[in-house]
C-alpha cells in the first residue's frame, strides 16, 4: 500500500519532471534528476511511486556466475519477489551498462506483482520484450551481458545512489517521457502542489506565447501576469 | 532578413550534411560537424540559416538561480527575444547535459519570431513538447535540470565553440536528419554549389550500384563515370 | 558460401543475443557482446553470418584524403567489393564516431553483393539512406565526417577488436534488436543448440510468470520445472 | 597594480585552497575549484592574484596554423604581452590537452613582465623548461601539439569557464600545492579573513590530534574547543 | 587485533601487488585491482591489513553541509574514530574526485589510532600534509572540494565497490608502490604463500635475464628452470 | 642495425618533441603525438629509433590465461625476443590500462638485447622495477593486472594505432621528458634538420626574452630576428 496521498499522486501524474526539478531547486535541491536515465519506451505510462531500493556491487567470480541465479536467496531475485505493489524498484547498478540489471522475465514478474515501475542507472536486456510488458522502466540504455558478469546484488532497502542522485527508501519517484525525479519523502506534498500550480500557469503562458507574446513579463511569471492568469482561468471556467 | 542567396539556400536544402563535410574537407576543413549533436526529432524539417550565437559559462550560485530568469536582461531570454528571423540560434552550452539549454516556452517563442532553428551542444528539457513546435532543433540529448543549476548566459554574437567546432556569427548552419554542418560565411556559395553537384551525381551512382555495378570506377566518380553521368542526365531530361 | 550448418543457422535466427551471452558465459566466456554496438534500425532483420574483418588505424594526412577513395586498391573499398556473400563485414573502427566507417553507397553495394550485414564499433553516415537498404547494420551511432578525416583502412581478414571484443575471421556473428554477439567458430553448433533450448524454455516460463507464478523454482529452471516444461510441451504438441 | 589589500594578500598566501573552498561553501558556493587543474611543479611558490582571462574556441584550418603566430594581433601573444603585472592569466582552453595552451617562451615572457602566474584547464608544452622559470603554473597536464592544431585565441578579459568553474575578470585566484580556488571579487576580504582564522585553528587541532585526542568535540571546532584554542593561543604568545 | 597469521603478513609484505594479481588470476579471479587507485606518496611504506569499509552515496543539500561535520554521529567521522587498529579503511567514494573523501586531520587521527592505511576510489584533500603523516594512503588523486559538496557517508562495514572491485569487510588489502590488491579473506594464506614463492623465483629469473638469458624457458618458469632455481637457491644458501 | 643517418640521430637527440610537432604541422601533419603517453621516469634518457610494432586485440578466455605465457610462440614474448637492437618497440595496447602491456622481466630482456625503448598506449606493471632498468619507456600509466586479463598479442610489424596516432613499422620515434612524436620514415632527415635549426633559434630567443624583450618580432622568428640570430651565433662562435 502506497503512503502517497491521493491528491499528491494525482498532481504528480500531471506535472512534468522538469517542473519538479524547478520546484526542488527553489528549496535548494540542485541534484534530483538521475543523470542519463531515460524511459525504455517513450510511450510508456508516467510513473509515480515510493522507492524500494536494490544495491549492486562489482561481481566476484566465485560468488557471481549463472548458478547464483538458481539460489532462492539471490537478492536480485528477492528484490523482484518482495518489492511491494505500488512502489518503484530503484536499482543502483553502479551506472554501468556492462551487464544487465534486469531482463524480461523479471519485468513480467513485477507487472504480475503490481509494482509501479523500475529505475536503474545501468541497463536492461531483452528490452524489446520488456517494452511489451507495459511496465514503466527507466535506465541508461541496453545492457545485454548477463548480470553476474559485472554485478552482485548485495542489499535491499538501503540508501543508494542512482545516476549520481541520492535515493532513500521511501523517497518519491516521478517519471515522465524525459526521465525521472527523486523527491525527498517529507517534501512530496508541498512539491506536488507547487509543481502542479506551475504546470497550470504554463498552459496559460504557452497559449499566450503561441499567440505572439514575448517571454518578458510572462514567463517566468510576474505578479501582473499571475493576475492575468487568474482572470484567464475564470474566463475558461465560465465557458 | 537572411543574407543567403536564394540559389545557395535552395541548394543547401537539398544536399546532405555529409556531402557538405566532403566538400569542406577538399578545401582543408576537417572539423565542421559538431560532435554528438543530433536532431531532437528525426522527422523535423531540414535547417538552413546563418548563426546567431549564445555563449554560456559555468553557473555561480549568487548569480544563477530561478530568480535570475525573472530579469528582463537575462541573456538567455534576450537571445530568444532578439535572434533575428531566419537565423539559427547556436548555443555553446559547454557540451553539458547537466542542465537545460532550452525548454518548450522558449521554443514556442522562437517559432513565433520566425527563427529558423536551434543548435546546442548541450541538451533540452520539455523535449516532447519542443517536438510539437516543429522547430528544427539539434542537441546532444535531453537535459532536464533547470538552466541555472549549471549554466550562465554570458554573451550574444561572439565566436563560440559548439560540439568542438568553431562557430562565428554569420557562419551558415545546415542541418539534416543526422546532424549539422558549419560552413564559414565566405565559402557558402561555392560549397553549396559543389555539394549540390555531388548530390546529383550520387543519385546516378546509387541507381547504378543498386543495379549491380561495382563501386570501382563509379564512386567516387572518375572522368569516365562523370561523362556517363552527363549522358544519363540528358537521357532523363529527354524523357 | 557460408560454412554454417542449416540447423545451426535456423537456431541462431530464433535465439536472442542475450541467450547466446548466457550460453557462452557458462563456458567461461565473459566478453562476447561488443559494447555500445546497436542496430541502426530497430526494425531491420536479424543477422547471422561468419565474420569477414576490416581493420582501421588512425589516418595520416598524406595517405588519407578524399583522393584516396579514387584508388582501386583502397582497402575500405576492397572490403566492400570482396566480402563474400552471406558473411558479415566486421569493422574495427577504433570505437570512434569521429569519422564514418561506412556510407549509403557502400551499403547498397553490400546488398547487391549478398553480404549478410555490417557490424562496426564506429559510426555510419547517410544513416537514413542506409536504413532504406534493409541491410542489417550495427554501430555505435551516427558519424558524419568523411572516413579519411580519422580512419585509414589497413588490412582485411585479420583478427580485430570490435567494441572491446575479439573477433577472429570466421567467428559467427549474431545480431538482434538489441545488439550483436560474437561466437568462437568452433563452438557455434553447441552454442546454437543450447541457446535454442533455453529460448524454448523461456517461452514456457514467461507464460507461467504472466499467469502469476513466482520466479523462484521456475526461472532459472530447476529439475522439477524442466519436467513441467516437458509436460507442457507435450500438451502443446497434442493440441 | 593589484587591487588586493595587503592584509588580504598576506592571509591568502597562508591559507590552503581547501580552506577557501570550505569558507565559500558556507556562503553557498559549491563550485569554486577548477576540476583537474594541478600545479605543474609541486615545489613552485603559492599563487595569489586577480584573474586576467584569455578565451579559446576550437581552431579552424584557414585561421589557425603556424603562420598565425607571426601576426602581432594574435590574441594568444597579445594576452602574454598585456596581462598586467601581479595578475593571474586564466586560460579557458576548453578543458583540452589536445593542443598546448602555453609553452616555455611565453612563460619566460610572463616572468619578465611580472605576471603572478598562469591557470589553464588545458595543458602546457615544454613543461620541464616552464618549471625552470619558477612561474606558478596550473593546468590539467602536458599538451605537446602546437596550439593552432586545436585552439583559437578569441578574446581577452571576458568571463570564462575554467575547469568547470566560472571566472570573471578580477576574481581572485589562489593556488597552492594541490590546485586553485576562484574567489568572487566582492567576497575576497571576508573569505581571506575567515579562511585565515580557520587555518590558525587547524594548527591547534592538528597538535591535539597528533597527541591522541579524538576528532569529536575538536574538529570541526565547537564553542568549547574554540575557547580552548584561545587559551592555547595565549599560552603560545606568552612563550 | 588483526586476524592475519604472522607468516601470511610477512609474505604479503614482500610480494608485489602484480604477483598477487597473477596468483588470483590462476584461481579465476580477474578483477582484484581497484582501477586507477595509486599511492599518494610513492615512498610510503607498503600496506597489509584487513578491510574496514565506509560507503558514501551522493550528497543531498539538506543533509550534507559543513554543519553536518559537527555532529558526533556523522559516519565519516565515526569511521575514523572506530576503524580498528591494524585494519585498512576502504572507502567507496563513488570513484569521484569531485569532493574529498579524507583530509589531513582525519589522517593524523588514523595514525594516532594505529590504523594500517586508507584506500579510496575518490580523492584526498590536504594531500601534502597527509604525506607528512606517513600513513599509507591510496586514492585516484587529489580532491579539494569539501566532502558534503558531493558525498554523504551512509554506512560502515558493508560490502562495497572500490575502483570497480568488490570489497567485503575482512578481505585483505595489500598495497605497494603501484596500487592495491584485494584478496578474498578465505584465500589469503594460500595466495600469500604462492605469491611469495613466485617472487623468490623472479629474483632468480631477473638475475639470469640481466646476464643475457632469453625469456623462453625461463620466464614464466618451466619444470627445468624451476629445478635450476632450486640449485641456484642452494648455491646461495651455501655462501 | 638502425637505418637512421648519424646526423639525423644526433639532431633528433637534441630537439624536443614539441619542435618536431611544429615541423610536421608545417608539412600538414596534425596528429603525430600519441595522446596521453608519458615517460615512465622523467629522468630517463631521450629516445630515438625506428618503430617495431606489436599489436594487441581484446583477450578471449580460452586463448588468454596465465598458461599462454608458457608457450614459446606467444607473440608478446616473441616481440621481446625479436625486436631488433636500436629499434623502439611500439605497442598498440588499445589505449587500455586494464591490463599490463609489459612488466619488469620483459624490460630487463629488452635492455640485454639492446632495444632502444618502448612506447605503449596502455600501461606497465612493475613500474618501479622498470625504472631501475634505465630503459626509456613511455605509456599511459601503471597497469597492474596480468596481460591476458584483457589483451591478446596478435601480430608483429603491422601498421598500428598508438595513442590515436598511426605508426607504420620503420617510422621514427622520438621521446623526451614530455612524451613521444612519430615521424613518417621518408621525412625524418628533413624534419630532424629543420627542428634542429628551430631549436637553436629558440636558445637565442629565450635569452632575449629573459633579458626583457617582447615576443613580438622575436618569437616566432621574423626575417629581421633571424638575421639578428645569425649575428648572435657568430658572436658566440667567436668567443
Residue E3 binned pLDDT confidence (cut-offs 50, 70, 90): confident
- Across the range D71-87, mean pLDDT stands at 97
A30 touches chain E (CB under 8 A): yes
Over residues D125-153, the pLDDT tens digits come to: 999 999 999 999 999 999 999 999 999 99
Please tell me the distance from the alpha carbon of residue E170 to that of residue E88, in angstroms, as a whole number.
Answer: 9
Task: Tell me if C112 and B209 make a contact (CB, 8 A cut-off).
Answer: yes
d(CA A218, CA E192): 71
Percent of chain D with pLDDT over 90: 95
Q: Using CB atoms, which residue from A60, A155, A165 is nearest to E166? A: A60
Tell me whether residues D58 and B164 touch, CB distance under 8 A.
Answer: yes
Interface test with A, best of C32, C219, C222, C225 (most A CBs within 10 A): C219
Query: E110 at the D interface (CB within 8 A)?
Result: no
The C-alpha cell that represents D220 in the structure block: 570541526
User: For residues D227 and A162, what is the distance between their CA atoms, to the nearest angstrom?
Assistant: 43
* Residue F61, min C-alpha distance to chain E (Å): 10
Instruction: Report the neighbours of E using a cutoff of 3 or more CB pairs below 8 angstroms.
Output: A, D, F
Residue C71, Cβ neighbours under 10 Å: how many?
Answer: 12
Minimal CA–CA distance to B168: which of B8, B59, B55? B55
**A81 CB-contact burial (10 Å; exposed 0-12 / middle 13-18 / buried 19+):** middle
Interchain contact A149–C (C-beta under 8 A): yes
Average pLDDT over residues F95-99: 98
Q: Is C63 exposed, middle or buried (0-12, 13-18, 19+ CB in 10 A)?
A: middle
Write the residue in F59, F61, F154 that is nearest to C28 by C-beta: F61
| pLDDT value of residue D239 | 67
Nearest CA in chain A to C213: A109
Q: Which one of E215, E217, E223 would you mutate to disrupt binding with F, by most F Cβ within 10 Å of its Cβ?
A: E215
pLDDT digits (tens, 9 = 90+) for A64-94: 999 999 999 999 999 999 999 999 999 999 9
The C-alpha cell at C69 is 577513395
Of A154, A159, A164, the CB nearest to E154: A159
D16 HSE (CA, 13 A, CB side): 21
Record: contact A209-B108, CB cut-off 8 A? yes
Contacting subunits of B (3+ beta carbon pairs below 8 A): A, C, D
Predicted local confidence at residue D122, as pLDDT: 98
- Set of cell numbers at residue A104: 524480461
Torsion sign over Cα A110, A114, A120, A123: positive
Under the banding of pLDDT at 50, 70 and 90, the label for residue C2 is low
Q: Measured in Å, how far apart are chain B's first and last C-alpha atoms? A: 39
Residue of B145, B148, B149, B151 to mutate, interface with A, max A Cβ within 10 Å = B145
Q: What is the mean pLDDT of chain D?
A: 96
Residues of F in contact with C165 (CB under 8 A): 58
Band of the pLDDT at B239, cuts 50, 70, 90? low
Number of C-beta neighbours around residue C44 at 10 A: 20
Mean pLDDT along residues A198-219: 96
pTM equals: 0.97
Residues of C in contact with F159 (CB under 8 A): 57, 152, 154-155
> Quick check: D1 pLDDT over 50?
no
pLDDT at E238 over 90: no
- Beta pairing partners, D92: D55
Q: Contact, D33 vs D183, CB < 8 A?
A: no
| Nearest C-alpha in F relative to E223 | F70
Which one of B144, B148, B151 makes the best mutation probe of the A interface by having the most chain A beta carbons within 10 Å? B144
Domains in chain B, start-ordered, CATH in brackets? 31-183 (3.50.30.40), 191-237 (no CATH)
Predicted confidence band at F1 (pLDDT cuts at 50, 70, 90)? very low
Query: Which is nearest to B21 in space by CA: B194, B159, B233?
Result: B194
DSSP H or E stretch at residue E182: strand E180-183
Of A105, A127, A146, the CB nearest to C215: A105
How do residues E127-158 score in pLDDT, each as one tens digit?
999 999 999 999 999 999 999 999 999 999 99
What cell numbers appear for B7 in the block? 540559389
For residue F61, the distance in angstroms to the closest alpha carbon of chain C comes to: 6
Strands (E), chain D: 38-39, 47-58, 88-92, 117-120, 123-124, 137-139, 141-142, 151-156, 160-162, 165-167, 172-175, 180-183
Q: Does E98 touch chain A (CB under 8 A)?
A: no
Q: What is the mean pLDDT of residues A177-183?
A: 98
What distances in angstroms separate CA F123 from CA B235, E35, E130, E176, F43, one per listed residue? 62, 12, 27, 17, 18
Report CB contact under 8 Å: B210, C108.
yes
D112 at F interface, C-beta within 8 A: yes
Probe site for chain C from F31, F59, F60 (most C CB atoms < 10 A): F60
Contact assignment for D61 to B28 by CB distance below 8 Å: yes
Backbone torsions φ then ψ of B235, nearest 5 degrees = -55, -45
Centre a 10 Å sphere on the Cβ of residue C161 and count the other Cβ atoms it contains.
Answer: 26
Nine-digit cell at D8? 588580504
C194 closest CA partner among C8, C6, C4: C8
Residues of D in contact with F223 (CB under 8 A): none
Q: Which of C32, C29, C34, C31 is nearest to C91 (CA)?
A: C34
Cα of F178 to nearest chain E Cα, Å: 20
What would the grid cell of residue A239 be?
A: 465557458
Q: Find chain E residues with C-beta within 8 A of A165's C-beta.
A: 58
Shortest distance, CA C195 to any CA of chain A (angstroms) = 14
Helix (H) or strand (E) holding A133: helix A127-133
Residue F36 near chain E (CB below 8 Å):
no
pLDDT at B4 over 70: yes
Query: From residue E120, how far is each of A9, D93, E78, E164 by CA, in Å?
Result: 41, 30, 16, 11
Cβ–Cβ contact C184 with F under 8 A: yes
Q: What is the pLDDT of residue A117?
A: 98
Burial D159-192 (b: 16+ CB within 10 A, else e): bbbbbbbbbbbbbbbbbbbbbbbbbbeebbbebb
What's the mean per-residue pLDDT of chain E? 96
* Closest residue by Cα to residue B129 from B142, B115, B120, B140: B142
Q: Does D123 touch chain F (CB under 8 A)?
A: no
- In the predicted model, is pLDDT for residue E1 greater than 60? no
In this complex, is the C-beta atom of A98 within 8 Å of any C-beta atom belonging to chain C?
yes
Q: What angle separates helix A104-113 from helix C188-210, to the nearest 10 degrees? A: 10
Which parts of chain E fold into alpha helices (H)?
A: 6-14, 17-26, 75-82, 104-113, 127-133, 188-210, 223-238
**Mean pLDDT of the A144-155 span:** 98
Q: Kindly tell me if the per-residue pLDDT of F238 is higher than 90.
A: no
Which chains share 3+ C-beta pairs under 8 angstroms with F? Answer: C, D, E
Distance from F197 to chain C by nearest Cα, in Å? 24
Q: What is the pLDDT of residue E204?
A: 97
| CB contact E26 to A (< 8 Å) | no
Tens of pLDDT, residues F37-80: 999 998 999 999 999 999 999 999 999 999 999 999 999 999 99
Residue C143 confidence class, pLDDT cut points 50, 70, 90: very high
| Cβ-defined contact of F144 to E33 (cutoff 8 Å) | yes
Do F and E have ≥3 inter-chain CB pairs under 8 A? yes
Dihedrals phi, psi of D123, to nearest 5 degrees: -135, 170
Q: What is the pLDDT of residues A7-30, one digit of tens each?
A: 999 999 999 999 999 999 999 999
The reply to whether residue D149 touches residue F25, judged by beta carbons under 8 angstroms, is yes
Subunit contact C35:A97, Cβ cutoff 8 A? yes
Residue B91 pairs in a beta bridge with B54, B120
Contact E104/D at CB under 8 A? yes
Can you tell me the distance from the alpha carbon of F16 to that of E157, in angstroms, rounded to the nearest whole number? 52
pLDDT tens digits along A89-143 = 999 999 999 999 999 999 999 999 999 999 999 999 999 999 999 999 999 999 9
∠ CA(A159), CA(A160), CA(A164), 5° rounding?
Answer: 135
Q: What value does the mean pLDDT take over residues E49-62?
A: 98
Between the alpha carbon of residue A56 and those of residues A151, E150, E166, E173, the distances in Å are 6, 20, 10, 21
Work out how many CB contacts closer than 8 A connect C with F.
59
Residues written for chain C: 239
The DSSP H or E segment spanning C194 is: helix C188-210
Asked if C57's CB is within 8 angstroms of F161's CB, the reply is yes
The span from the CA of A183 to the CA of A15, in Å, is 13
Q: Which of B230-239, D58-67, E127-136 has the lowest mean pLDDT?
A: B230-239
E65 backbone dihedrals φ, ψ, rounded to 5°: -160, 175
Asked whether the predicted pLDDT for residue D219 surpasses 60, the reply is yes
Q: With cut-offs at 50, 70 and 90, classify the pLDDT of residue A2.
A: low
CA atoms within 13 Å, Cβ hemisphere of B175:
32
Beta-sheet pairing, E123-124 with E141-142: parallel
β-pairing verdict for B151-156 and B47-58: antiparallel
Instruction: State how far Cα E41 lies from the chain centre.
Output: 13
User: What integer pLDDT is reported at residue F236 of this predicted model?
Assistant: 84
Pairing type for strands E172-175 and E180-183 reads antiparallel
pLDDT tens, C207-217? 999 999 999 99
Give yes or no for F27 touching D (CB within 8 A): no
Amino acid at each position: 500500500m502506497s503512503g502517497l496521498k491521493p491528491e499528491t499522486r494525482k498532481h504528480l501524474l500531471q506535472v512534468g519532471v522538469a517542473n519538479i526539478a524547478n520546484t526542488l531547486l527553489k528549496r535548494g535541491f540542485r541534484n534530483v534528476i538521475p543523470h542519463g536515465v531515460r524511459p525504455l519506451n517513450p510511450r510508456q505510462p508516467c510513473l509515480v511511486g515510493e522507492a524500494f531500493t536494490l544495491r549492486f556491487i562489482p561481481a566476484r567470480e566465485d560468488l557471481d556466475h549463472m548458478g547464483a541465479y538458481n539460489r532462492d536467496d539471490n537478492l536480485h531475485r528477492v528484490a523482484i519477489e518482495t518489492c511491494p505493489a505500488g512502489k518503484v524498484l530503484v536499482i543502483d547498478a553502479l551506472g554501468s551498462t556492462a551487464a544487465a540489471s534486469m531482463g524480461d522475465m523479471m519485468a513480467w514478474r513485477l507487472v504480475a506483482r503490481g509494482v509501479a515501475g523500475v529505475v536503474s542507472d545501468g541497463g536492461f536486456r531483452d528490452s524489446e520484450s520488456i517494452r511489451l510488458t507495459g511496465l514503466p522502466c527507466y535506465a541508461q540504455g541496453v545492457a545485454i551481458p548477463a548480470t553476474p558478469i559485472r554485478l552482485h546484488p548485495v542489499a535491499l532497502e538501503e540508501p543508494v545512489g542512482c545516476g549520481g542522485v541520492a535515493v532513500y527508501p521511501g523517497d518519491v519517484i516521478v517519471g515522465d517521457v524525459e526521465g525521472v525525479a527523486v523527491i525527498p519523502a517529507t517534501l512530496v506534498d508541498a512539491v506536488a502542489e507547487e509543481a502542479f500550480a506551475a504546470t497550470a500557469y504554463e498552459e496559460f503562458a504557452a497559449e499566450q506565447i503561441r499567440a505572439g507574446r514575448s517571454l518578458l513579463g510572462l514567463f517566468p511569471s510576474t505578479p501582473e501576469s499571475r493576475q492575468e492568469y487568474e482572470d484567464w482561468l475564470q474566463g475558461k471556467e465560465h465557458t
